[in-house]
């Protein structure tokens, strides 16, 4: 494969770069995921709330690739948290995907107000023990939520998928993940493609390497050790975003990008987000 794996804390291999499908309508997901698989992506990041598990599953089925050669992530939505409802939501996701296991299942948000993430995670542990999920983890968990989860359950999460890009570098979370052996997965790795890709420092590094700003930002993540899941529905960009394993940023480039941190979120605050 084009994309080297990282080894999760339970020994499972996960491609360091995958394809995200947030905001891709179900009827466009099959085409987008097909394009990504043809371009060499072997990891797909969806979620129940994205409403495109069916289209994603159709592309996987039609790809002709062996199931074990594709790494599939989906996520438990907030309104489904709780032990029994998690088990039911998982069955629904598997059915929509047309799969008999997923590689990674994540609690989408901690929603601390509900106080159900520990119970939900215990259901994850059961599904994991039953062989229906290869690795279990969380998303949008702050260190305080991880600390509680680790104290009250038995499987340390394999992954925490959090908003992370040069304007929100998440150094405290990354440090805690490293201490605990949790892989840091960056969502909105390109900062949603908005202002970030026009930042002069990034444009200059791109010109220096004969690359695009998106490739430079993805390369920065990879060299830091982050897992990334850039999203695009444009075939040329889908291809561009995976062509990032044949060049290296130097220490000066990395430092210039690390200087861009503004602790600025594009998405919701995990401490208060509670959408059902
Ligand atoms: P992203 O940072 O991947 O940016 C995607 C946008 O950037 C595209 O829509 C496009 O406008 C632009 N873009 C992509 N490639 C480009 C290129 N080569 N050149 C120029 N512009 C380009 O943002 P995202 O979609 O928010 O995040 C990626 C994935 O992360 C999602 O699809 C989803 O799978 C996941 N995600 C998870 C959560 C969560 O709560 N766990 C939240 C948001 C996103």
Q: What is the pLDDT of residue 194?
A: 83
Q: How is residue 231 written in tokens?
A: 């999203």
- Cα-to-centroid distance, 240 and ligand 1 (Å): 14
Report the distance separating Cα 137 and Cα 125, nearest Å: 10
Residues 6+ apart with CB under 8 A from 53: 46, 74, 93, 96, 97
The label of the residue with tokens 């499972």 reads 12
Indicate which residues carry an active-site annotation. 50
Give the mutation target among 230, 244, 265 for probing the ligand 1 site: most ligand atoms within 8 A of CB. Answer: 230
pLDDT along the chain (276 residues), means of 10: 94 98 97 98 98 98 98 98 98 98 98 98 98 98 98 98 98 98 98 95 98 98 98 98 98 98 97 95
- Cα-to-centroid distance, 188 and ligand 1 (Å): 5
Atom nearest to 191 CA in ligand 1: 2
DSSP secondary structure, 237-268, as one string: HHHHTT--SS----HHHHHHHHTT-----SS-
Return the bridge partners of 184, or none. 160
Give the DSSP H or E segment for 150. Answer: helix 143-152
- Cα-to-centroid distance, 185 and ligand 1 (Å): 13
Q: Where are the domains of the chain?
A: 5-192+220-243
Q: Are 196 and 166 in contact (CB under 8 A)?
A: yes
Atom nearest to 230 CA in ligand 1: 3
Give the mutation target among 192, 234, 265 for probing the ligand 1 site: most ligand atoms within 8 A of CB. Answer: 192
Report the distance separating Cα 81 and Cα 73, nearest Å: 17
Q: Provide the CA 257 distance to its chain's centre, in angstroms.
A: 21
CATH of domain 5-192+220-243: 3.20.20.100
- Cα-to-centroid distance, 129 and ligand 1 (Å): 32
Q: How is residue 85 written in tokens?
A: 């409802």
Q: What is the pLDDT of residue 1?
A: 67
């Amino acid at each position: 494969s084009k994309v080297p794996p990282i080894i999760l804390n339970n020994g499972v291999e996960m491609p360091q770069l995958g394809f995200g499908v947030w905001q891709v309508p179900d009827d466009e997901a099959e085409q987008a995921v097909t394009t990504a698989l043809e371009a060499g992506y072997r990891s797909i990041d969806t979620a129940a709330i994205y409403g495109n598990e069916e289209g994603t599953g159709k592309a996987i089925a039609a790809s002709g690739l062996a199931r074990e050669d594709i790494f599939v992530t989906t996520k438990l939505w907030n309104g489904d948290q709780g032990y029994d409802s998690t088990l039911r939501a998982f069955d629904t996701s598997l059915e929509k995907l047309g799969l008999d296991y997923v590689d990674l299942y994540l609690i989408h948000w901690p929603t601390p107000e509900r106080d159900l993430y520990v119970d939900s995670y215990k259901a994850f542990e059961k599904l994991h023990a039953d062989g229906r999920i290869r690795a279990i983890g969380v998303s949008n968990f702050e260190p305080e939520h991880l600390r509680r989860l680790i104290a009250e359950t038995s499987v340390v999460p394999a992954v925490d998928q959090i908003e992370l890009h040069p304007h929100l570098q998440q150094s405290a979370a990354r440090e805690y993940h490293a201490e605990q052996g949790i892989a840091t997965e960056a969502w909105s790795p390109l900062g949603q493609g908005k202002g970030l890709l026009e930042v002069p420092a990034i444009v200059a590094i791109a010109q220096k390497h004969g690359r695009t700003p998106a490739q430079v930002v993805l390369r920065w993540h990879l060299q830091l050790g982050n897992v990334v899941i850039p999203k695009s529905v444009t075939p040329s960009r889908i291809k561009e975003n995976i062509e990032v394993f044949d060049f290296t940023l130097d220490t000066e480039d990395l430092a210039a990008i690390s200087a861009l941190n503004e602790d600025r979120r594009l998405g919701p605050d995990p401490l208060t987000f509670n959408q059902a």
